[in-house]
Homo-oligomer: A and B are copies of this chain.
Amino acid sequence: MEEWLMQKNVTASDVARALGMSQSTVSRVFTPGASVSAKTRKKVLEAAQQMGYRPNAIARSLITKKSNMIGIVMGDVKNPFYPNVLSMFSRELGKKGYHLLFVNTKNNQISDDEIFQLCEYNVEGIIITDALLTSSLASYFKDKQIPIVMFNRYEQNSLFHAVSCDNIDGGYQIGKYLLTKGHRHLAFISGNPNTSTSHDRKKGFQEALQESGYTYTTEYGDYTYEGSYQATLRLLKSALPLDAIFCANDIMALGAIDAAKEIGVRIPEDVSIIGFDDIDLAAWSAYSLTTWKQPVNKMIAATIELLLKHIEKPEQNNLIIYKSIKGSLVERKTVMDRH
């Protein structure tokens, strides 16, 4: 600690004194565009390194064009999946010397202002989690050649790299699993239907059911606990026969479980419920939710790899890469074998 504080206090004037130069000469070396001879520059840089003098990150970023900042755009922090992802990105990128500029979007739609902020700070790359890009903003990013990776999202004909769980496979395996366990009257509680996550999970689910000749009911829960709570009440109070509900994320599955209990529907005896994500709460004994585990560690690692590769080799940036990583079933206590 002591040593570090000492090092921190090394200034341009200390370096100048050690070299017998003026402070302004030393400063010019660290000022973009200032005139200084190659020989002087070399001397100053060597001494600066030995003495532990580092001009601050902002000054340095003007020289190196590297800000070491990554923008992260996130909407829904009420779904614990995302704060967890934020924390993991912060730690993993921190190990590589990057820092996070955090942007919290309203209504999951990225605004002009928010983009403006990120560009203003010379972020080297941007990770977009659960927010939506308008097509004009997408073109703007592309023009500015800012590397972007969509995390847990992708768009058709996207201009940007994307990493997500294999949501179609997840939905498909969930459909198969519920049928194998003898369920015949199924419902799907959708998130925002404009998102690839909800769309793909539904698509895979539908495929599995169609292969076996079954259909299902759809309700909309808006990816929130409250939305799904209400959607579940609508389903359970309708005249439809129902023995299983697939919720497009865990937080909705928890809302579904609580809604069912509220009106005396037993989980899983009367209705099975399965989620998607495997957030910490899914394992809480109040829920013991059977769900589909997103491979979050692998998704984070793949996102960072793509982003840093793009930052380091921008010339290869025309090849758009979409990585889809398979998840796995976590069986707990909310799905019953009906055979």
Q: Which residues of A contact B (CB under 8 A)?
A: 1-2, 4-5, 8, 27, 31-33, 54, 56-59, 61-62, 67, 69, 72, 77-78, 80, 82-84, 86-87, 90-91, 94, 99-104, 106, 112-113, 116-117, 119-122, 134, 136, 140, 225, 229, 254, 257-259, 261-262, 280, 284-287
Contact = CB atoms under 8 A, between A and B. Distances in A.
13 contacts: A1-B112, A5-B140, A8-B140, A31-B33, A57-B121, A58-B58, A69-B101, A78-B83, A99-B117, A100-B101, A225-B280, A254-B284, A257-B286
B58 A67 contact: yes
B56 A122 contact: yes
B78 A280 contact: yes
A86 B80 contact: no
A112 B62 CA distance: 24
A4 B116 CA distance: 10
A72 B100 CA distance: 11
Nearest to A75: B87
Closest A-B pairs by Cβ, 6 of them: A57-B120, A83-B83, A90-B104, A102-B102, A77-B83, A77-B87
B67 A77 contact: no
Contacts of A56: 119-122
A336 B259 CA distance: 24
